[in-house]
């Protein structure tokens, strides 16, 4: 819980990792390139005093994570989002099992999400059942840019992906976190295209699709889909740290999201260890839309911040929110589409 | 370096400045993506050796391919150059891209089995976005100057005051193959059809989101490039122009705004 100026905020960090990107675990130059790319994200958007040496960033370990999230970082509940990348890292970058072992020791601190890959076919469906039983999964994280042998990516609309989404429905996995990375295949399409989200969100209205990084770098395409699909959410990982280096751009992102979606479908995330939740939360609670932009965009209230920082994710995962950080119920009007506009320019 | 090669280097740089990052709609020279452009005399004649670099190791390979291929095409058209070599560096797919462009194979052949066609439609998608963002910048300026929103639906390009925004819009129209003469309507869709008055406001609202998105991505790419390669990006001796000399700003993002945001 974070308290400032008499306001309390219950914090659910919806996207954290415990990874091993160390040279010993790197399987090839792609693994090295991957962790270095993450490190540049970290260095580019963190305040100077929060920048780690590369060696620590590659492998920081459990004790660091526990201290950063729960002692220093105000986090009440953290959601592990696995990222396997077994073609790049010998033991995987960050698997459900690795997350789960830590979560079992601190059952009140973590939610463990799983993952699946439609290219694993029938065997993968059985594995998903076992994974769900073992870790009581309520959510999965999908990474469409993951390489697997000759295949360099997949789409949510692939036939086997539908089979897996049906399996999720059957197993009670309600929350589908989708990370669009620079998919390699098909190379002649826009890698970050979120159009496939639109199709599956319509086909599976009982599932929630939380689009990580709010679709960045395709914010506009994400907004257009989310305004029409009430079960599409925006996860703020990667968007949050702009609050420090580019606060005006951050204001634009947040207020665009609030315009096209609504305040109930945006969830806070640090993407730890790329960024540390402590400074993100402190800056977000202090944040206001710059004065010269308020005429255009309005302002952020403590209730909206409370929803984004914890209440919305708590609703997705049935986490109880303490009374002092709850937001009074109101008629949430998330089904009305803003976009009664002309067809979206493709 | 002789006077002749200096001017050849300048012409090579000018040719590179016509190449846009297809995703951001900005010249690769301005974005700092040209690491070096060196004019060389070899037994094969006088040519230019260009090295490109990108903000991350995993930047989308299709956009990277377009930039390498476009740079090559622009350079071989420069009078006085007998050959051109363009190589992408520090990128996971550099080898395939460089080999594909050098062999003039086309994109699908460079990534055999992984691409389902060429990149024309991809390029067009981003030209449409760039056009929409430009239209929004132009209209926002008019609204700031006191224009009413319904007037936007009835104005022609020639009726709005000359500005950097209007010039950019005209260029974007031509890229899309749309008419851009003074008597054509200002507010058109991606096929050149005028937008009815009652739809202008909503379309402008979406266009604003597109503009915010493109501007945001541009800032993010600039920041990552700086982080990856450091602020001091002076190119080695004998190159046409160092990447650091690129001119940021320009019509589409006022330099002052850029300065305020990027510290």
The DSSP line for A214-276 is GGTT-HHHHHHHHTT-TTEEEE-TTTTTHHHH-HHHHHHHHHHHHHHS-TTSEE----BTSS-
Q: Which of A44-53, A115-124, A181-190, A234-243 has the lowest mean pLDDT?
A: A181-190
* pLDDT at residue A345 is higher than 90: no
A284, A268 contact by CB (below 8 A): yes
CB contact under 8 A, A44 and B122: no
Query: Does A34 reside within a domain?
Result: yes
* pLDDT at residue A330 is higher than 80: no
Whether the CA torsion B226, B227, B229, B230 is positive or negative: it is positive
Query: Does A342 reside within a domain?
Result: no
Q: Which of A132-136, A330-334, B124-128 has the lowest mean pLDDT?
A: A330-334
Query: Does B253 reside within a domain?
Result: no
Residues B21 and B39 reside in one and the same domain: yes
Query: Does A332 reside within a domain?
Result: no
Query: Does B263 reside within a domain?
Result: no
Q: How many CB pairs under 8 A join A and B?
A: 136
Query: Does B258 reside within a domain?
Result: no
Residues B234 and B189 reside in one and the same domain: no
Nearest CA in chain A to B56: A37
Q: Give every CB contact of residue A81 below 8 A, 6+ residues apart in sequence.
A: A14, A15, A16, A17, A113, A141, A177, A179, A212
Total domains in the fold of chain A:
1
Query: Is the bond leading into B193 cis (omega within 30 degrees of zero)?
Result: no
Query: Does A304 reside within a domain?
Result: yes
pLDDT tens, position by position, A243-276: 999 999 999 999 999 999 989 999 999 999 999 9
Alpha carbon distances (Å) from A196 to A162, A178, A333, B241 = 11, 11, 25, 43
Q: How confident is the model at residue A189 (pLDDT cuts 50, 70, 90)?
A: low
| pLDDT score of A227 | 95
* pLDDT at residue A346 is higher than 70: no
ipTM tops 0.85: yes
Total domains in the fold of chain B:
2
Residues B56 and B109 reside in one and the same domain: yes
Question: Residue B70 sits in which domain range?
Answer: 3-116+218-245
Q: Give every CB contact of residue B34 below 8 A, 6+ residues apart in sequence.
A: B13, B16, B28, B50, B51, B52, B241, B243, B246
Angle ∠(A177,A180,A186) on CA atoms, nearest 5: 135
Residues B77 and B131 reside in one and the same domain: no
Considering only CB atoms, B61 lies closest to which of A187, A218, A245, namely: A187
Query: Does B260 reside within a domain?
Result: no
Q: What is the CA radius of gyration of chain B?
A: 20
| pLDDT score of B253 | 30
Residues B19 and B105 reside in one and the same domain: yes
Considering only CB atoms, B213 lies closest to which of A29, A188, A218, namely: A218
Query: Does B86 reside within a domain?
Result: yes
CB contact under 8 A, A252 and B206: no
Residues B108 and B12 reside in one and the same domain: yes
Query: Does B261 reside within a domain?
Result: no
CB contact under 8 A, B114 and A185: yes
Q: How confident is the model at residue A153 (pLDDT cuts 50, 70, 90)?
A: confident
Which residue, B3, B64, B72, is CA-closest to B37? B72
CB contact under 8 A, B205 and A184: no
* pLDDT at residue A184 is higher than 90: no
* pLDDT at residue B252 is higher than 80: no
* pLDDT at residue B158 is higher than 70: yes
A173, A210 contact by CB (below 8 A): no
Query: Does B259 reside within a domain?
Result: no
CB contact under 8 A, B219 and A249: yes
| pLDDT score of A192 | 78
Contact list, A345 vs chain B (CB under 8 Å): 128-129, 132, 189-190, 206, 210
Nearest CA in chain A to B117: A188
Query: Does B69 reside within a domain?
Result: yes
Contact list, B228 vs chain A (CB under 8 Å): 40
Question: Mean pLDDT, chain B, as a whole number?
Answer: 85
Contact list, A339 vs chain B (CB under 8 Å): 202, 206
Nearest CA in chain A to B257: A248
* pLDDT at residue B46 is higher than 90: yes
Considering only CB atoms, A37 lies closest to which of B57, B116, B209, namely: B57
| pLDDT score of A337 | 43
Contact list, A33 vs chain B (CB under 8 Å): 57-58, 92
| pLDDT score of B79 | 92
| pLDDT score of B242 | 41
Query: Does A339 reside within a domain?
Result: no
Q: Supply the CATH number for residue A202's domain.
A: 3.20.20.140
* pLDDT: which is higher, A345 or A161: A161
Residues B99 and B130 reside in one and the same domain: no
A157, A142 contact by CB (below 8 A): no
Residues B106 and B130 reside in one and the same domain: no
Question: Mean pLDDT, chain A, as a whole number?
Answer: 92
CB contact under 8 A, A346 and B190: yes
Q: How confident is the model at residue B110 (pLDDT cuts 50, 70, 90)?
A: confident
| pLDDT score of B237 | 35
Residues B110 and B223 reside in one and the same domain: yes
Task: Choose the most confident range, by mean pLDDT, from A326-330, B86-90, B120-124, B234-238.
Answer: B86-90
Nearest CA in chain B to A243: B261
CB contact under 8 A, A346 and B92: no
Q: What is the CA radius of gyration of chain A?
A: 19
Nearest CA in chain A to B212: A252
Mark which residues 307-326 of A lie under 8 Å from B by CB: none
Query: Does A232 reside within a domain?
Result: yes
pTM: 0.89
Residue A341, Cα to own-chain centre: how many angstroms? Answer: 28
* pLDDT at residue B248 is higher than 70: no
Angle ∠(A125,A89,A73) on CA atoms, nearest 5: 90
Query: Does A127 reside within a domain?
Result: yes
B210, B132 contact by CB (below 8 A): yes
Residues B64 and B135 reside in one and the same domain: no
3-state SS class at B246: coil
Which residue, B63, B238, B58, is CA-closest to A35? B58
> A24 at the B interface (CB within 8 A)?
no
CA separation for the pair A175, A235 (Å, rounded): 12
Q: Supply the CATH number for residue B60's domain.
A: 3.30.300.130
pLDDT tens, position by position, B24-41: 999 999 999 999 999 999
Q: Which of A97-101, A155-159, B191-195, B256-260 has the lowest mean pLDDT?
A: B256-260
Residues B163 and B109 reside in one and the same domain: no
> A28 at the B interface (CB within 8 A)?
no
Question: Residue A145 sits in which domain range?
Answer: 2-325
| pLDDT score of B71 | 96
CB contact under 8 A, B224 and A41: yes
* pLDDT at residue A221 is higher than 60: yes
CB contact under 8 A, B114 and A345: no
Considering only CB atoms, B223 lies closest to which of A220, A245, A341, namely: A245
> A303 at the B interface (CB within 8 A)?
no
Query: Does A335 reside within a domain?
Result: no
Residues B92 and B146 reside in one and the same domain: no
| pLDDT score of B171 | 93
| pLDDT score of B232 | 52
Mark which residues 180-239 of A lie under 8 Å from B by CB: 181-182, 184-192, 216-220, 223-224
């Amino acid at each position: 819980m974070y308290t400032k100026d008499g306001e309390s905020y219950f914090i659910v960090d919806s996207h954290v990792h415990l990874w091993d990107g160390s040279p010993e675990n790197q399987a090839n130059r792609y693994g090295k390139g991957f962790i270095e790319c993450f490190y540049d994200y970290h260095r580019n958007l963190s305040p100077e005093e929060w920048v780690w040496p590369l060696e620590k960033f590659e492998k920081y370990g459990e004790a660091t994570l526990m201290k950063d999230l729960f002692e220093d970082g105000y986090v009440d509940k953290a959601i592990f989002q696995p990222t396997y990348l077994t073609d790049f890292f010998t033991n995987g970058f960050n698997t459900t099992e690795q997350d789960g072992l830590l979560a079992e020791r601190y059952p009140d601190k973590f939610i463990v999400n799983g993952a699946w890959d439609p290219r694993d076919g029938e065997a993968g469906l059985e594995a998903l059942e076992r994974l769900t039983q073992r870790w009581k999964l309520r959510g999965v994280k999908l990474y469409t840019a993951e390489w697997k042998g000759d295949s360099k990516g997949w789409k949510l609309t692939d036939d086997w992906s539908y089979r897996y989404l049906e399996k999720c429905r059957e197993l009670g996995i309600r929350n589908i976190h989708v990370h669009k990375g620079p998919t390699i295949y098909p190379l002649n399409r826009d890698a970050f295209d979120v159009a496939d989200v639109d199709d599956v969100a319509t086909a599976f209205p009982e599932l929630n699709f939380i689009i990580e990084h709010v679709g960045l770098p395709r914010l506009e395409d994400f907004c257009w889909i989310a305004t029409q699909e009430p079960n599409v959410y925006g996860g703020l990982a990667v968007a949050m740290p702009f609050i420090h280096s580019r606060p005006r751009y951050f204001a634009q992102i947040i207020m665009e999201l609030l315009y096209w979606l609504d305040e109930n479908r945006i969830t806070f995330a640090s993407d730890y260890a790329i960024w540390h939740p402590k400074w993100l939360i402190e800056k977000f609670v202090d944040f206001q839309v710059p004065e010269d932009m308020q005429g255009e965009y309005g302002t952020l209230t403590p209730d909206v911040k409370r929803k984004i920082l914890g209440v919305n994710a708590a609703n997705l995962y049935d986490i109880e929110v303490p009374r002092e950080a709850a937001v009074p119920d109101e008629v949430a009007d998330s089904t009305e589409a803003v976009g009664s506009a002309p067809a979206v320019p493709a | 370096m002789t006077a002749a090669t200096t001017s050849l280097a300048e012409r090579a740089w000018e040719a590179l400045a016509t190449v846009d990052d297809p995703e951001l709609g900005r010249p690769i020279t301005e974005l700092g993506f040209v690491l070096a452009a060196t004019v060389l005399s070899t037994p094969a004649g006088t040519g230019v050796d260009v090295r490109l670099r990108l903000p991350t190791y995993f930047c989308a390979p299709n956009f990277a391919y377009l930039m390498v291929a476009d740079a090559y095409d622009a350079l071989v058209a420069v009078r006085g150059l007998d050959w051109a070599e363009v190589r992408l560096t520090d990128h996971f797919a550099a080898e395939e891209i460089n080999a594909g462009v050098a062999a003039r194979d086309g994109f699908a052949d460079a990534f055999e089995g992984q691409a389902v066609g060429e990149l024309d439609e991809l390029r067009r998608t981003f030209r449409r976005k760039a056009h929409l963002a430009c239209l929004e910048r132009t209209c926002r300026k008019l609204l700031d100057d006191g224009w009413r929103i319904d007037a936007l639906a009835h104005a022609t390009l020639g009726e709005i005051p000359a500005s950097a925004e209007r010039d950019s819009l005209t260029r974007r129209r031509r890229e899309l193959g749309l008419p851009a003469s003074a008597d054509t309507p200002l507010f058109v869709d991606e096929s050149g059809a005028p937008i009815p008055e009652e739809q202008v406001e909503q379309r402008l609202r979406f266009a604003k989101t597109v503009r915010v998105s493109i501007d945001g991505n541009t800032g993010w790419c600039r920041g990552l490039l700086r982080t990856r390669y450091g602020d001091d990006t002076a190119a080695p001796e004998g190159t046409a122009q160092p990447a650091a000399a690129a001119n940021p700003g320009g019509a589409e993002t006022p330099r002052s705004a850029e300065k305020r945001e990027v510290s």
